[in-house]
Every structure is written in C-alpha cells, then in structure tokens.
Amino acid sequence: MRTIGIDVSKATLDVALRNEEGTLAKEERIKNSATALRSLLRKWRKQGLCDTTTLVCLEPTGHYSHGVVKTLLDLGQPTWMAHATDIRLSIGMQRGKSDRVDARRIAEYAQRFGDKARLLQHSCLDFTELKTLLALRERLVKERGKDRAQIKDNVLYMTGGAKQLVKAELERQLKALERSIANLGKPSRPS
C-alpha cells in the first residue's frame, strides 16, 4: 500500500510518499495552502506515484491541519489523523527531529498500521468548526465576567469625571461582548 505522511506547520507542509515496497518515493516541502496541496497531489498522480486509494496520514495540529484535511477530503483522498504519541511509540526512541523526518515517520506509520486507520469524513470538519466556535464563545463569556467585575469593583472606588468615563467604556465593551456571544449562538448560514 502506498502512503503519504504530512507534517503540518503554520506556513508549510512536509510531505513524504512511500511506495508499495516501503521505500521513500518522493518528498517535498510546500506551502500550507489548498492550492499547493492540490497541485502536488495532481503532479504525483500524473507521474503515477499515487492515486485516490493512497492513504494520507497526518497528526492533529489544530487549526493548521483543518484546511489540509478539507482539501484531502474534497479530493476524495483516504485521510487518517493519527495521534503523535501512537506514531512515536510505534517507531521507538529516535534521536534528531525535523519536519522532513517527521513526514517520513508518519508515512511509515501509515504503511505499517494502515489496517487500523480510522478514516475521516466531511462531518469531522463540521465538528471541528463547532468546537472552535464553542471555545470562542467560552472565551467571550469569561471576558464578559471580567468586565462585569470591573464595573462593580473598580468603578465603585473611583471618583470624579474618570469614574463615568471608565464606567461608560466598560459598559460599551460589555454590550459588544454580549452581541458577539448572542451572534455565536445563532445558526450559521452554509458557505
């Protein structure tokens, strides 16, 4: 089975391709963008190095990997998000680390344990987006609590014109936070 390992970072993707024999066939560093990834896979497909059955494996890296996963699923590429700990434990103690080496190790892991792969579906992207929205809402609710406490505590001990100015500004921020929290609770429109 051919496999592709991708090490995801903010700006770049290190991509390693292993052939059926288990040897490294190709590796490249590309920009972390849908266009660059589509272009690379198209090129490798034209060269006969991979196809739509080639298993792609990557580690979860939060929002940096979200676009990568979406692109792979849109292309119909079997995609597996494997835990970094599982990959490290399967390979054993390794000295030296680079993104390029990590991509090779991920591709090797996918080849050795591909039969255990839990392939991603488009619905996982919706779940990831929902988690992001909930985390943002939680952060805004905490900010709202801080602003409320400041209005009660700090303004209570202030005197003069600054008191009204600070209170008005904090209340303005509080209203803006409440609007943002309310907007996050509304159903979103499909893009």
Q: What is the mean pLDDT of the chain?
A: 86
How many of the other CB atoms lie within 10 Å of CB of 85?
9
Which of the residues in the chain have pLDDT under 70?
Answer: 92-96, 123-133, 185-191
SS3 51: coil
Check residue 3 and give its pLDDT: 98
Judge contact between 45 and 35, C-beta under 8 A.
no
How many of the other CB atoms lie within 10 Å of CB of 175?
12
Check residue 126 and give its pLDDT: 59
E strands present in 69-187: 79-81
Q: β-pairing, 12-18 with 79-81?
A: unpaired
Kindly report the CA angle at 62 between 145 and 57, in degrees rounded to 5?
160
Domain ranges (residues) in the chain: 3-121, 133-185
Judge contact between 51 and 110, C-beta under 8 A.
no
pTM of the model: 0.68
Check residue 37 and give its pLDDT: 98
Check residue 15 and give its pLDDT: 98
The domain made up of 3-121 is a member of CATH 3.40.50.720: no
